[in-house]
Amino acid sequence: MNLSPFLLLCGAGLLAIFSSTISKSPVLPLFATHLGADPAGVGLVAAVSAFSGVAISLPAGLLSDRLGRRRMLLFSALVFASAPFLYLAVTQIWQLMLVRLYHGLATAIFIPVAMALVADLHEGARGEKIGWFSTATLLGRFVAPISGGAILAALATDPGAGFNAVYLVCGLAGVLTLLLAWRLPRAGQRHAAAQSWPDTWAAFRLVMANRVIVITSLAEAAVLFAYGTFEVFLPLYAIGLGLGPGEVGVFLSAQVITLALSKPLLGRFSDRHGRPPQVFAGLLLGAACLGLYPWLQSFWGLLAMSVMFGLSLSVVTSASAAFIADQCHGKGRGSAMGLLGSIMDLGHTSGPLLGGIAAVWLGLSTAFWLAALVMALMALVFAGVAGLRAREKVC
């Protein structure tokens, strides 16, 4: 079967994110506890792979400009294919942390490089194609916890066997990711081939000096700051109202489905009508949703607002990555996507941390209001720096 490079990327993205997600949700905290970790140790283990994303995404994008997208995707896929099997030999917490650090390299490299390649391949329909790629990864993210939970439940009488079974499935998905990445064409793709170090560094400097790219990356970081706050504190807020874990799961699942269904359509909308107004509107919509959460106390009200918040995330992210890609010629596009990935991960990890501090000092509602304030302020900064009109390529 002769698949196009885009379909190969979508298939690899689905399997890669499935593999990454099933390795941690819900198995990772349970496995760490099984090894003897206390809650602080569980949190530390969970944070290790996030550190990989912050530290590696930018260098990975830069190297994809220098060495070519396919080589970096193959390296990432090799990590996806090998890391899951290392969990089978883990018996100590420090070993689990090392494996998580190694496994975190895979997603940190794969996502920005794959998005740069999608942007390279589709000049005229960049927003829509990035949206479809994101939908493929969201499908993997949605199915993985269900699959992992089912495996653990089926082997509940033997937790060790359950953990091993999950990581074997994780490894199978990683091997399939490697096979799809290997089928990507070796040549003939514009901007996919290697370039010289002087050209790479020149493009990198232009990216880092580009205020529009940096501020758009910060806008998406504000979205991830808000999402990180939402996914951590909504369950606590809902359970405090007397709702159950099953109802909380409905809120989170409805949001993922909203993202998956809407991103290609909103990406196409941004292709046709411009990206900056869409980013601005999405930030304001998200701020309004989060600001209203503490006033809602019913299942249906919280469900509706969860769907609307998911829609606001889709409105922003279906346009922001494509807008960053628009600002670059192919030589610096990997660096730009890597910068986006690193800043996004900073936003995602800092949201729960700062939201938790706000909740401890001023109450749980304050965490939502803090996230709303961050999104609203970022909307104003984005409008002031990036403007609300299309811009010429400058790097």
Query: Which pLDDT score is estimated for 190?
Result: 47
Last residue of a domain, one of 133, 161, 194: 194
- Tens digit of each residue's pLDDT (9 = 90 or more) over 242-285: 887 667 777 877 888 898 889 999 999 988 888 899 999 999 99
The answer to whether residues 109 and 100 touch, using CB atoms and an 8 Å cutoff, is no
Say if 14 falls within a structural domain: yes
pTM recorded for the entire structure: 0.80
Q: Are 23 and 69 members of one domain?
A: yes
- Tens digit of each residue's pLDDT (9 = 90 or more) over 302-348: 899 889 999 999 999 999 888 888 887 656 777 777 777 788 878 87
What residue ranges of the chain have pLDDT lower than 50? 188-191, 390, 392
Say if 211 falls within a structural domain: yes
How many whole angstroms separate alpha carbon 5 and alpha carbon 133?
12
Q: Are 9 and 54 members of one domain?
A: yes
Query: Which pLDDT score is estimated for 191?
Result: 47
Last residue of a domain, one of 138, 161, 194: 194
Q: Which helix (H) or strand (E) holds 112?
A: helix 93-121
CATH of the domain at 266: 1.20.1250.20
Q: Count CB neighbours of 178 within 10 A.
A: 20
Q: Which helix (H) or strand (E) holds 122?
A: none
Q: Are 295 and 238 members of one domain?
A: yes
Last residue of a domain, one of 167, 194, 221: 194
Q: What are 279's two structure tokens? A: 């980013």
How many whole angstroms separate alpha carbon 124 and alpha carbon 112?
20
Containing structural domain, residue 283: 201-385
Say if 28 falls within a structural domain: yes
